[in-house]
Amino acid sequence: MIYIVSGLPRSGTSLAMQMLGAGGLPVLTDELRASDTNNPRGYYEWEKIKQLPQDPACIAEAEGKAVKVISTLLMSLPGGHEYRVLFMIRPLEEVVASQAAMISNLGTRGAALPAATMMAALKAHRNQVIAWLRSRPEIPVLQLDYHSLLADPDARAAEIATFFGPALDTNAMARQVDPALHRQRVQQSL
């Protein structure tokens, strides 16, 4: 079994990985990307996963572990493995605001697109990925709303543990949720 955490960038995937690690599920991360003001508890990334389209066999290293796979790479998952996908959903306005804040904090420049254009592109991409996941009934998917996780971490931790299957410490998972780290707040529009 390979436990995948995915979603759009800045949708809570690092938090989900943090929860799984605290709950007792081994997480595959190389810790190359250090924590910073944007993700003070770490990114929980595995750099090698970016090679998935060119090297699909690399996913085998994640057997029995949780691994973060960005949404653009999900459609490169090879057959021959058993997957469970936790797909984080966050309002697009917050995703765009969080990306803008991260770019500003890093002192870099992002794409020069109006926010509405960026949201439309992200929505189309997310819809495409979710449609692909639905077309793959052999890959169970749990879509988890970021706001719901913040509002009721105990219930969402239990939901994640039930979905993933192994005995996880849901109390430890729920304690990882810190609403103070929810800094980009806008009206919800899925």
What secondary structure letter does DSSP report for 81? S
What pLDDT does 39 receive?
Answer: 65
58, pLDDT greater than 80: yes
Question: 2-181 in CATH: which number?
Answer: 3.40.50.300
Lowest mean pLDDT among 86-95, 99-108, 141-150: 99-108
What pLDDT does 76 receive?
Answer: 96
Please tell me the pTM assigned to this model. Answer: 0.86
Q: What is the pLDDT of residues 109-139, one digit of tens each?
A: 555 567 788 889 999 999 999 999 999 999 9
Q: Could you tell me the residue ranges of all domains in the chain?
A: 2-181
What secondary structure letter does DSSP report for 21? H
Contact of 19 with 176, CB cutoff 8 Å: yes
3, pLDDT greater than 50: yes
- Burial of residue 172 (CB within 10 Å: 0-12, 13-18, 19+) is middle
- Give the Å distances, CA to CA, from 128 to 54, 104, 150: 21, 29, 26
The one-letter code for the residue type at 16 is: A
Please give the Cα distance from 141 to 28 (Å, whole number): 19
